[in-house]
Amino acid sequence: MRVVKNYLYNVGYQVLAIIVPLITSYYVSRVLSPEGVGANAFTNSIIQYFMLLANIGIGYYGNREIAYVRDNKQKMAATFWEIQIVKTVMTVVAYLSFVVFMAFYSGNKTYMWAQSINLIAVAFDISWLYQGLEDFKRTVLRNTFVKITSMIAIFIFIKSPKDVAVYIIVLALSTLLGNLTLWPHAVNNYGHVDRGTKLNPWRHFVPTVTMFVPQIATQLYVQLNRTMLGLMVDQKASGFYQYSDNLVKLILAFVTATGTVMLPHVA
C-alpha cells in the first residue's frame, strides 16, 4: 500500500510540474513573446549540462544508499552527510566550470547568470534522502507549494518583454527556496552524527560516477535538442520545442514515476 501511495504522490507531482508551465505558457508567451520564451529554453538547456555534472548521479545513488541503511540512524546520518559533501564539492566544481565557460560565452550573459541560480540550488537538493526513506509525501507537498508559488509570482512580476531575466530568476529562486525548506526537518531528524564518527565521503565517489555515466546518455539527448535548435535555427525554435516536448513528458511521467518509487523499496 505504501508503494501505491508513493507512486500516486510522485505521479501527481510529475504531472503538476508539467501542467503548471502549460497553464502559465499562454500568459508568458504573450508577455515575453516567443523570443523571450526561447531565450529561457535555450539558456536553461545550457545550464542543465553543468547541473548534470553537479548532480553526478547522486539522485539515484543517494536514494539507494539511504534505503540500505535507513534502519540504523547513525549509519544513515553518516551516509547522508558523506553523500552531501560529495554533492557540495561537485557543485562547486560545476560552478567554477560555469564561470570559465562564461568567459567565452558570447550570448546574453544576464540570462545565463540568472540561470546559474539553478546550479546553486543543486547543492541544496536533498530530495534523494526522503526518497530513500520512502517519504514521498513530504517532497511532493513541498514541490507542489513551490510550483504554485512560482506560478503566482509569474503573474505578479512578469509584465513586459523586458522581464525575461526576472522570469528566469523567479523559476530558479522557487527551486532554490523549495530545496532549502527540506533542510530543517532533515537536520533535526536524520542529521545527528555521534562525536568521533569519521566520515569518509570519497568512498561514494566512484559508485556515483558509475551511475552518472548512463545518465549522461539519457540527459544529453533530452537537453541537446533545445541547444542545437538554439544554435542552428534560433532561440525562438527552442521555445516552441520545449512547449511541445512538455506535452510528451506529461504521458511519460506515469512511467518514470514507477522507477523512482520502486528503487528504494527494492533496495
Residue type, 250: L
Centre a 10 Å sphere on the Cβ of residue 162 and count the other Cβ atoms it contains: 11
Centre a 10 Å sphere on the Cβ of residue 40 and count the other Cβ atoms it contains: 23
Cα–Cα distance for residue pair 116/105, rounded to 1 Å: 14
Cα–Cα distance for residue pair 166/159, rounded to 1 Å: 10
Give me the residues of the chain with pLDDT under 50, please. none
pLDDT (0 to 100) of residue 191: 79
Cα–Cα distance for residue pair 144/135, rounded to 1 Å: 15
- Total-model pTM: 0.82
Predicted confidence (pLDDT) per residue in 251-264, tens digit: 665 566 555 555 56
pLDDT (0 to 100) of residue 3: 58
Centre a 10 Å sphere on the Cβ of residue 204 and count the other Cβ atoms it contains: 21
CB contact at 8 A, 216 and 200:
no
Q: Where are the alpha helices (DSSP H) in the chain?
A: 2-55, 58-69, 73-104, 109-123, 127-132, 136-157, 164-181, 183-190, 205-232, 235-266
Instruction: Count CA within 13 A, CB hemisphere, residue 16.
Output: 18
pLDDT (0 to 100) of residue 246: 66
